[in-house]
Every structure is written in structure tokens, then in C-alpha cells.
Chain A
């Protein structure tokens, strides 16, 4: 039972990170119907920004953790959002109206470019960061095995909940969110009621990248080591999460992320750690067979 609880805690933490990245996939798919394959690498860029800013802050002697965290968060989010915005501007906007395959290939190209860019400028080796927020609480202890909940995990949960609630509200009841949903349904019509579609799409990329940056920061702090390749694996997992939850749906992305996180944690806890990805993707296959629109996705009803 203790072991189970520990895996649950670990799974939820992992799931929160996947969920935050998955939201970016889901929102972009919702609005322009394209899988932004570079999104995982945007997450990686976010992680690197967080790491670099931490090191700079340490060098400057700003070591009071809450202040340092706040600065890192702001800088990483702003810079990563700038990357997200630029990727859309450079690689996708010129292809708007082109066949669907074109932006998809462009996205894969962007992904490779970002990976290589970071590999070249930062090196291929893993970058360690000393533990910034150590410690935690021991929930239960029995026979030498203890269930631990680290502060870092708590912070990840709290941040995720706040962000998801915030963005759900943003989409549901602000002018920006309404514009986004209008573009999702009928881009041409949205422009006819005076919505600047390009700006709305850019905003979507900026929001997605900001969330990915937060996820990147959390991963940097949680695992303490990052490299240029983390975006690929996390991106594929988060994409799976978005599809699992129902792509285009924001709560669906979060739910999918949680599920993938839990599946991974339990599978590696009880079966074999080598096959955890097989389990996650296996569930995806099953869901796609029995519920092709994902768990929370709305099926397309065709009127005849």
C-alpha cells in the first residue's frame, strides 16, 4: 500500500508536467488543426532558459529561493513565449492555406532545428543543476519504506492546478478565449466579425509556449538534469496525452497527461521500467480503437 501511494504521488507529478505540455499541443491543434511537433522542443528551450537563468542568478548571488524562482519563472516564460511566437511566425504562418502536410513537415523541421541549435550552443551532455528546493514531508513509514512527498512535488501540483484553472477560465469567459473558440470553429467567419485571426493564433502559440516553459522549469528543478533531447520524449508523451484526452480539449489534455503519468509510474513500479513507454502507448492504441475522439473529445457529428 505504501509503495502504491508513492507511485501515485510520482505519477501525479509526472502527469502534471505532461498535462501542461499537452495543453500546448491541444490548443494549437484546436485552432489551426495542426500538430505542432516543435512544441516538445519549446518545452526543452524553456527548461534550458530556466537552467541558465538559475546559474546566472547564482553567479550574481541571488540565492533567496522564492525570489530566484520568481525571476527564473518570469524570464523563462517570456523568452520561451518569444520562441513559440517566432516559430509560428517563421514556420507556420507563411504556410497558412497550404495543404495540411506542408506545415506538418515544417513543424518537424523546426523541431530538428531547435534540437540541433541547443545541442550546438549548449553541448550534448546533460546539464546538472544542484537541488534548489530540497526536502519534503514523510507521509508514512513502515518497515524501512517511507512514503515521501517532496516540496518540489507539492509545488508542481499547486502550480499546475492554478495554471489549468486560470487558463480554463481564460478560454471560457474572456474576449481572448471567445475569439480563440470562434477561430477554432470558423476562421473565415471569425475574421468577418472583426477578429484578427493571425493575432489570435499567435496568442495561442504564446500561451502554449508559456505553459511549456513552466513545465520546463519544473522538470529542471525536479530532475536536476536536462539535455537537448528531453523535448523529444516529453513531447511525444504529451502529444499522446493530448490525443488520449481528446485533442482540442483543454481539460482533456490535462486528464490525458495525468493518465499517461500514472500509467508510466505504476508500470515502472510494478512491472518493468524498460517497458513503461510501451504501456503508455499501448493504452493510446486501445483508446484510439474504442474511442477515436479521445476521452473528452467531442465526436464530429455529421448532419445529413
Chain B
């Protein structure tokens, strides 16, 4: 078996006394959607923050292997994770460049390609050499995405002025414009209505089918998770409690317990239950 796109091994993240992520291991494959689910505070976003360089993990190895090489994400600086390892992410609370136009948001995401084309020199920026062609190319790619997410007519508006659902899709398109091999989506369906959620499902399945990249998805909306995930990893209190296909996860008693809590009366030892019954409290 070849090396998976992303291999997370023994990831642990401690903040003082709080263990946000505790010895979590999993893998994500190219061409697959791997979902991370779990109750609030389970450590899902912390995993993303470790993957994208916001946090340096306390323990653990995060290795990304692609056609462009092998990278240890925990050792890379913030921008190199996007630039070299080619990991892109979106946020639970949308973080677009609100004061830039919709089109510019997509072009600025192609910054590295453009800077490479300019050879980091001033003359190139003035339009000499391959820069002009690269810029046309970047605009072309951006236009393609605008068509896909149906925002062509708003290309020159400020990104901050878009309605919420459009901002979500624009953020995904921007992440895709960085030409990633791994796309990390943090609750992309949060705040979307039923129709928008279905559109999101279609968009993600389309990306999976056409772009040959791996997708990591944090999501609370079970219609999204169960509908499109290839694998699901369940976290609870920072620990991985289950992993499997959507069908397996749905039937897993540990997962049900994590989400719904223990069914207490079943767990009471028989003698305690008997005592309580005698006192008329049960």
C-alpha cells in the first residue's frame, strides 16, 4: 500500500493543563472526503489548527506525502504549509479579505504562482517576461471558479458585501485557488439553509471527482457528513473514539453515547438501583 496523502500520528495538543487533542492518529487519502466529527469541544478545530500551522503540536507527527514531495507539517511555518506542502483551509467563522473584490480574493490566493512567474523582480511586475501571461492565467482560473460557484455577476463587488452562503462558497473557491493537495474545511455548512447545504454537497463531490485532492471536513450537519464522507473519524474529549464508513459510524454505540450521553439507569449497578427503588426515588 502506498503512503496516504496525510498521515497524522499520535497528535497531542496541550494548553497548560488542558489536553485539547489526545494521541489522535488517522489518515486521509487523495480523492476521498474524510470527515472529523464530534461534540463541541472535542478538539476538531484544534486538529485543523495543528495541520495549518496555527499551533505547534505538543507531540505528534503530521506527514503529508504527494507527488510534490513529503512534508512534515508540524515543522513548517504558516505560509510554507500553503506554499510548499499545499494545504488549504477555510474557517468556521468566514475569513475572506472583506475589503477586496470577489475576483481579487481568488487572484490573491494564486499569489505564489504569480510571484514565481515574476521571478520576484520589479521589471516583471511592470509587465515584462512571463508575468502578464501568468496574470491572465490567474484571472482565467478565478473566472472559472466564479462560474462554478455562480458569482460571476458579483466579481467586482467587495467580498464582505456578499450574502452569507455566497461567502462560504467563495471561501472554498479561494482555498481551491491556492492549488492545494489537501483541503481542510471547517464547518462549511454552518449557517446554511437546506438548499445551500445540498449545493455545498454537490460542490464538494464535484471537487473530489474532478480535482484529485484529499478533503478533510469538520461538520456538524449530519446530512452533509453522512451524505458525502468516504470515512469518518469521531473525536470526543480530544480522543479518537471511532473511525469507519458512514454506515459503521451510525451504528457505533460509542458514538451514540458521545453524542447523546450515557443512558444512566442502565449503567447503575443492580444493587444501587434496587436501593433507589426501595426509597421510591426511581
Contacts and interface: CB of A to CB of B under 8 A. Distances in A.
Whether chain B is bound by chain A comes out as yes
Interface of A: 170, 174-176, 178-179, 181-182, 184-186, 188-197, 298
A175 B118 contact: yes
A74 to B, nearest CB: 13
A179 B114 CA distance: 11
Interface stretch (B6-14, B29-37, B104-112): B104-112
Main secondary structure of the interface of A (DSSP, over half): helix
B83 A175 contact: no
Nearest to A196: B79
Contact of A175 (B77, B82, B114): B114
22 contacts: A170-B125, A175-B118, A175-B135, A178-B100, A179-B108, A181-B97, A181-B100, A181-B104, A185-B98, A185-B100, A188-B54, A188-B78, A190-B79, A191-B78, A191-B79, A192-B52, A192-B81, A193-B174, A194-B79, A195-B112, A196-B79, A197-B79
Contacts of A184: 99
Contacts of A181: 97, 99-100, 104, 108
B154 interface: no
Given A185-B99, A193-B178, A178 B111 contact: yes
B95 to A, nearest CB: 5
A176 B125 contact: yes
A77 B109 CA distance: 31
A61 B124 CA distance: 35
B83 A194 contact: yes
B181 interface: no
Contacts of B114: 175
A195 B108 contact: yes
A195 B112 CA distance: 7
A197 B112 CA distance: 12
Given A182-B108, A195-B111, A189 B97 contact: yes
Contact of A178 (B52, B82, B108, B178): B108
Nearest to B77: A191
Nearest to A186: B95
B169 interface: no
B118 A192 contact: no
Given A193-B111, A194-B83, A194-B112, A178 B99 contact: no
Contact of B111 (A170, A186, A188, A194): A194
A244 B111 CA distance: 33
B84 to A, nearest CB: 9
B115 interface: yes
B89 interface: yes
Contacts of A182: 97, 100, 108, 111
Contacts of B89: 192
Contact of A185 (B82, B88, B97): B97
Contacts of A195: 79, 108, 111-112
Interface in B116-161: 118, 125, 135
A189 B82 CA distance: 11
Interface in B57-95: 77-79, 81-83, 88-89, 95
A99 to B, nearest CB: 20
A178 B78 contact: no
Contacts of A178: 100, 104, 107-108, 111
The 9 closest A-B pairs by CB, nearest first: A194-B82, A175-B114, A191-B79, A191-B78, A194-B83, A193-B109, A178-B108, A194-B112, A174-B125
Given A179-B108, A193-B82, 15 more contacts: A175-B114, A178-B104, A179-B111, A181-B100, A185-B100, A188-B54, A188-B95, A189-B97, A193-B88, A193-B109, A193-B175, A194-B112, A195-B79, A196-B83, A298-B99
A107 B52 CA distance: 32
B111 A192 contact: no
A175 B104 contact: no
Contacts of A194: 79, 82-83, 109, 111-112, 178
Nearest to A178: B108
B78 A193 contact: no
A194 B76 CA distance: 12
B242 to A, nearest CB: 30
A177 to B, nearest CB: 9
A260 to B, nearest CB: 27
A118 to B, nearest CB: 29
Contacts of A185: 97-100
A143 B97 CA distance: 60
Nearest to B180: A194
A98 B235 CA distance: 34
B175 to A, nearest CB: 8
A190 B100 CA distance: 12
Nearest to B126: A174
